Structure 1
Amino acid sequence: MPAGVGTSGPAGATAGPGVAGGGVGGDVRVLDPLPRHPGRFALRLDNGVTLDTDLVVLTAGGRPSTALARGAGLEVRRGIVVDDRLASVTDPAIHAIGDCAQHDGRVTGFVPPAWEQAGILAGLLADRSGDDGAQTYDGTRIVARLRATGLDVAVLGDAAAEIEAGGEVVEVANPIAGSHRRLVVRDGRIVAATLVGDLSRVGLITQHFDRGTVLGPTEPGALLMPDRPAGAGSTVRTLPDDAEVCACAGVSAGRIRGCSSFEQVRATTRATTGCGGCAGTVRELLDTTPAHA
């Protein structure tokens, strides 16, 4: 999902300096590539600048590897077309998950949806009852994170669509500090979010988003405010043990509560060692859990 799809104008403006600070320019188009000599190129841009370079990288997204599926006669569009049981619509004995699978017209392109699909497919394959008791796949809600030097962005859900459907916006911005946080709430539930610059609450917000937690009137605003002392009105301590805190490593709140230190969490569960977005929630869980005897 392009970042521009999920970020509003103010959020994009907040992220802009981080992009520029990394040496990334925008709002230009390449008119002509100009060969210089072996191993060197120049790009003539529409703003009148000629950019000398020794490497040109074209970034136009990924393409699923579907040659084997096509050769086997399976229906393939952008990916292998699958139904709610993650089975090929051509041959139900063949299943596909991850980047190569296309469900309901969409290829996800992210790691967490692949894990979700793998869990659901495992349940379906292990269900020998033949009935419909096992969970089926109804699509993955958008959860995208971008972490780079000077640039941290997280986008959950489709904010524009949710606002059009009646969602209410709760927003806190501090452009001086390079921070912008916005939630879209409908019927008390977080249905979309955009976080720029400060991802300390992204783990907790993602949990509420994934679980459809019904929040009180003041909770959405509290989630967007700077961190407070552990336990001071925090909703982290009320997370059930089976709530997933680290999406990268699939670590639950219960496993984190079973650790006695941040270092032990990292060493034994690998939580916080991926994108790092759950670190704030992990620390708060440790701070609000009674010390082990």
Structure 2
Amino acid sequence: MHAQSHRSDARILGRRTLEQDHRHLARLLRPGLSVLDVGCAAGAITAGIAKAVGSEGQVVGVDRDPVHLESARVRCGDFANLHFEQGDATTLDYPAQFDVVTAARTLQWIAEPGQAVAAMARAVKPGGLVVILDYNHADNAWDPAPPGEFQRFYQAFLDWRQAHHLDNRMADHLPALLEAAGLVEVETHLQDEVSERGQPDFPQRTTLWVEVIDSVGAQVAQGGFFPEAELPRVRSLYSEWVRTELIRQTLAMRTVTGRRP
């Protein structure tokens, strides 16, 4: 399974920002850098990258999905230092062109993540950085525990992913993939996203899984992992529980960096 067989919910993609949703990369960027954003989707984070590197920098966003790319071009039309190209993360053809090559939440949707990391490593200049942010979906947590119906759906989601060779512990496996691609000085940075009741963005952050039900629930059901007729009820139960009972949601995430010798 590649990213092209899954289209993330536009509501999720559109609200992301560089500063909140790719925090370690935000600290690494400076004016004048050239950056390749792999799996850029609708360009929300890519726009932040373009702003951070300034008019002397250069940013290229790559995605497989032409619908997302069209949205990205509309969103980012005012950035003269940014353009978008359609392409596959596993077959990037930018030999040693960028100071930084990054991907956020992209490898989780690729069945051959090692190919993508190797392609990213080839795209970065000697001395440049590969910066990858991704999930350990198996470690995501809620306090208190969500309704049993949602827990069953979430396990079905993990099982569906595994059946399509998508790694539910992608973040844990990134260091070995970067090292296998020939990168050095590989480092892991904890990037858990914790949303707590009372935070201004708590409602939109915690509706993530409603949006996942909407975007991939039918595929999970069609694969035989969950009854499709139960999806509306699970969605409703989870939405109400988030509104009335959820205290804290933790998305288990890591940023892993490596330098090309």
Higher relative contact order (CA 8 A, sep 6+): 2
With the length of structure 1 as denominator, give the TM-score of the two structures.
0.23
With the length of structure 2 as denominator, give the TM-score of the two structures.
0.25
- Structure showing the higher helix proportion among its residues: 2
Q: Which structure has the larger Rg? A: 1
